[in-house]
Amino acid sequence: MSDAVAPKKSWRPTRRQFLLGLGVGGVGALALGLPAMRLAVSRAVDEGLVPSSDPLDPTLWFEVLRDDRVRLHLPKVEMGQGIHTALAQIAAEELEVPWERLEVVHATTAHGPVDKQGTSGSMTVVGLYQPLRESAATLREMLRTEAARQLGVQASALVAAGGTLSVRDQPEKKLRYGEVVAKHTGTWEVPEHPPALKPAKDFQFIGKSMPRVDLEAKLTGQGVYGYDQRLPGMLYGATARPPRLGSTLRAAREGKARQQPGVVEVLMGSDFASVAAESREQAHAALAHLELEWTEGESLQQADVEARTTVKDGEGVLVQEEGDVPEHLGRGKQLSAEYRTPLAAHAHLEPQSALVEVKPERVRVWASTQMPGSIRKQVAKALERDEESVELVPTHLGGGFGRRLDAKAAIEAARLSRATGRPVHVGWTRAEEFRHGFFRPPTHHVLKASLEESGKVLAIEHQQASGDVIFSLMPGAVGAVMGADFGAWRGATIRYAMPHRRTLAQRVELPVPTATWRGLGLLANTFAVEGFMDELAHAAGEDPLAFRLKHLGDDELGRRFRRVLEAAAKQAGWGSAAPEGRARGIACSVDMNTVVAQVAEVSVESGRPRVHRFTCAVDCGLVINPDGATAQVEGGIMMALSSALSERITIKNGQVEAENFYDYPLLTMREAPEIDTLLVGEGDKPLGMGEPPMGPVAAAVANALFTLTGKRLRSLPLKL
């Protein structure tokens, strides 16, 4: 532990905590606050991993209920990545509670640890692994101390197991956690230092494929998502959308909207016009009766997007430099190539939604969002109220993929609820999602390399140009100061041990809103770098696997790359003949310190690429839940493959062309390959898992198609 000392703060249940306890069928509850947890989280924040809660708020992760259940309040949202299960495993491990007695809920901004950063970047398990273990162990020790007092024995005489503390050699003398809490009076003392943690050899939950904690609710149709939230007397809201990118309201009149069936309120501000009605259809139908004038907006065309997204030689910001590239790039055999990736949509299947109830004393917001803290702030601002009076209750998410960093639906619902005095639900349509959200930015890549006689790369350069990823979510000054968007160049640097290498990243400001998409720049950059690597292998007349292996360093990263490359190649039958009419391609990447290698097996059917099989070897360090990690590999590959083969957002006359899935088809089960996952990592810490497996997908497919057809595809989606 750091030199920070946990405050010896007595802890009393707040009203909200008390309510939560009473909500469980009248079972009394007692919650335990853990300032130590807060400190641990702050430490992690210093390392840039997870945010801290406001130090003045009581922080609350666990509730021990009198009926022996333990409720874990998690500040990170579940969007399908399985983190609630992984975090429950980590907590159960140190807390020594039976699996079925642990209950997981989303923390709200009024109860439980507050998360101001959001859930993104494959960082949840990485960031919370250590703090959560420490917190759970601390709680276990607090229970042990109290049980010892109640039983009149030494704390060291007690054994914690299965949610019970029993006296060693006198197993009949014992107390269940719920009993300890029920008999306790007064305040709880939080120890200054977390106790020693369990050695890995004693793990019972970490490393096991525990079943997901949230699946039964999801398979029986329970209303756990933002779109499902309901309250008595609620209304539905809809908001008018501009006809083109960049166009804003010049003038707005109610027209006949208020007279339309079911309409309760028409609300207009300087930059919006919304309707609240008794039904969702009525709210949307009434929009057509508003009289709105919009400014002209953009006249952008697809060709402009591509022309603007073009590398200007030497103008990027240097984000990697080893050796002397300009000096060596002109020597030996020279190669260069250009790659492109298009705008892409998230297409999360549940469009964004929120239910808001504005009351004079407080506001409650139920929203499917990756950023509860920031959405709370935005809602408070829109309502001109104090943030403390706004409670944000995160729901489960029907997919996130980086799209749910904003939640305009919550602001739209909040305004309408304030105006009508009734709860209002806003759920976006698919067309609103396609046309009025933000996108993965388009990219352009110029790669150059020089090859020595020996077939080794002497120098390599990657110049990339991309629309904004992280800059668009930050104050303007950040972009000006930093120059290159670290989200856009994620995955762009050359990780092979080539003597002279550099990467330049160039910012492209586009009138199309672009930001985070699962993996940020990872898929696009890896497509370019690993596609080019394959070109170099063929130019050198070498096997693409052998060529990669011989360019690995003999440091730790090089060894980890070697392990995943060899594992994937062996499993996929690399080196043996592919089945008739098929070929294989290989690619690899490192992201969030997780190393991934993949082999794609492809054919061509009716002139289109068909992917039959993906083999993926991953080293993501300590695996908390192997089945969960495997699911992330499968899901990541499928999403990246859909992007590689099918998806492209285009702009026409200043508007996004796609309106629904008929313009933007996703891959279906028909196109889904078999996926073979090998978890080959080791280590005592978990690494990122939500995004890294997407990295090599497009490159592996393009590389396989080259072997099969002799045609090098350098832009997505891949078309022969």
Partner 1 sequence: MKLTINDREYEVPEENPHRVLLWVLRDELGLVGTRFGCGAGICGACTIHVNGVATRACLTPVSTLAGARIRTVEGLSTPGPDGQPQLHPVQRAFLDVQVPQCGWCMSGQMMSAAALLERNPSPTPDQVVEAMQNNYCRCGTYCRIKKAVLSAAQQLAQETKPLTQETKP
Neighbours of 616 (CB within 10 A): 28
State yes or no: residue 416 binds partner 1 (CB under 8 A).
Answer: no
Find out whether the peptide bond into 131 is cis, omega within 30 degrees of 0. Answer: no
Q: Which region, judged by CB under 8 A, interacts with partner 1, from 301-309, 379-387, 406-414, 424-432? A: 424-432
For the chain, the distance separating the N- and C-terminal CA atoms, rounded to the nearest angstrom, is: 57
**Distance of alpha carbon 116 from its chain centroid, rounded?**
15
State yes or no: residue 232 binds partner 1 (CB under 8 A).
Answer: no
Residue 4: CB minimum distance to partner 1, A: 37
Q: Which of 399, 402, 437, 636 binds ligand FES (CB under 6 A)?
A: 399
Residue 81: CB minimum distance to ligand FES, A: 10
Q: Residue 374: in which H helix or E strand, if any?
A: helix 372-382
State yes or no: residue 80 binds ligand FES (CB under 6 A).
Answer: yes
Window 188 to 247, contacts with ligand FES (CB under 6 A): none
Residue 218: CB minimum distance to ligand FES, A: 8
State yes or no: residue 635 binds partner 1 (CB under 8 A).
Answer: yes
State yes or no: residue 259 binds partner 1 (CB under 8 A).
Answer: no
Q: Which residue is nearest to ligand FES (CB)?
A: 349
CA 433, 436, 440, 442: dihedral to nearest 10 degrees?
130
Q: DSSP letters of 503-564?
A: EEEEEE--SS-B---TTTTHHHHHHHHHHHHHHHHHHTT--HHHHHHHT--SSHHHHHHHHH
Are 177 and 164 spatial neighbours (Cβ–Cβ below 8 Å)?
Answer: yes
Output the six-digit token pair for 438. Answer: 């933000």
Residue 154, SS3? coil
Round to whole Å and give the CA distance between 180 and 585: 59
Question: SS3 for 206-255, per residue?
Answer: CCCCCCCCCHHHHHCCCCCEHHHCCCCCCEEEEECCCCCCCCCEEEEECC
State yes or no: residue 634 binds partner 1 (CB under 8 A).
Answer: yes
Size of the site for partner 1 (CB under 8 A): 58
Question: For the chain, percent helix, then strand, then coil, each to nearest 5?
Answer: 35, 25, 40
Residue 334, SS3? strand
State yes or no: residue 349 binds ligand FES (CB under 6 A).
Answer: yes
Window 675 to 704, contacts with partner 1 (CB under 8 A): 675
Q: Which of 146, 228, 406, 691 binds partner 1 (CB under 8 A)?
A: 228
Residue 404 one-letter amino acid: R
Q: Which of 16, 174, 218, 550 binds partner 1 (CB under 8 A)?
A: 218
State yes or no: residue 474 binds partner 1 (CB under 8 A).
Answer: no
State yes or no: residue 280 binds partner 1 (CB under 8 A).
Answer: yes
Q: Which of 56, 196, 219, 481 binds partner 1 (CB under 8 A)?
A: 219
State yes or no: residue 220 binds partner 1 (CB under 8 A).
Answer: yes
Which residue in this structure is represented by tokens 């050695």?
A: 199
- Closer by beta carbon to partner 1, 225 or else 561: 225
State the binding string over 344-383 for partner 1 (x if CB under 8 A, else -).
Answer: ---xxxxx--------------------------------
Q: Which of 231, 473, 666, 679 binds partner 1 (CB under 8 A)?
A: 666
Question: Would you tell me which residues interact with ligand FES (CB under 6 A)?
Answer: 80, 349, 399
Question: Would you tell me which residues interact with partner 1 (CB under 8 A)?
Answer: 79-82, 209, 211-212, 214-216, 218-223, 225, 227-228, 230, 236, 261, 279-281, 347-351, 396-401, 427, 429-430, 627, 631, 634-639, 642, 660-662, 666, 668-670, 672, 674-675
